Structure 1
């Protein structure tokens, strides 16, 4: 599975799409961020589970820092701004249900990401790179 740039938000953030579940609206990815990165402010319509595999990160809106081995459970309706902390690249495993709404500072929805947009991004990247895509929506290993 390729690391796909998380454009148009950044060509320095990368996603590896592992699975999508169109029935439950769930998408599972690895996310890779360089040091000193900030993802956009966003709101989740569903729950999100994040396991930190490498590096450290936090939300600007909270005092805690997630480190390797940390597990973060975000309730539906949460809103936050993730940032990487320290000199090391960050890699997380993310299990996301529902929409990921990118917000302006005043709370207006600028873009919506979900299982479909993730699948479309992955398929477009594979086509552009000449990679045979894997059916990440199927019941398989």
Structure 2
């Protein structure tokens, strides 16, 4: 059944015309490294960007931290959800370790330091809402990563490496 077939079978509602005219259907974001590169994030990590929603200040990505690596201490200004895909990781401030299939959620205001001492590193799918404030090793503010920072991270890398930008990532 095509989209048009489905629409003609639905009750006639005034908003259908607006949806058909302005609505964006879902998108397919390839996960392969050629079309969707791992963008370096510091010395021990990389990010595969998946989606940017500027209306909600949210992003979806896969974070890869190589074995023995860590992400600096950071504080969340919104809810973050994660599903571990490969390896294991944790936060120095907590007593749990996330492994493949584990789900983690983080609340606004929490601060922690992500690490992976798994020899193969870790990969986790993150859905990040709101900004993240990063701090250096002396607890001094370093930078804020919000949806615009993540967009710039992706677009700048693609432009510098002659990789086409996937406009379907932008919601």
TM-score of the two chains, using structure 2 as the length reference? 0.75
Name the SS for the 1:30 alignment partner.
strand
Task: Kindly report which structure 2 residues correspond to 1:1-141, keeping only aligned pairs within 5 A, or say none.
Answer: 1-6=36-41, 10-104=42-136, 107-135=139-167, 136-138=169-171
Q: What is the number of residues matched between the two proteins? A: 135
Unaligned segments of structure 1, at least 5 residues: none
Question: Which has a greater percent of strand?
Answer: 1
Equivalent pair of 1:55/1:85 in contact (CA under 8 Å): no
TM-score of the two chains, using structure 1 as the length reference? 0.91
Query: How much does 1:22 deviate?
Result: 0.4
Unaligned segments of structure 2, at least 5 residues: 1-35
Question: Which has a greater percent of helix?
Answer: 2
Q: Spell out, residue by residue over 1:77-136, the C-alpha distance to the aligned partner (whole angstroms, 9 max, x if none).
A: 110001003212200100001111002456432110111111111111111111110011
Note the aligned Cα RMSD (angstroms). Answer: 1.2
Name the SS for the 2:72 alignment partner.
coil
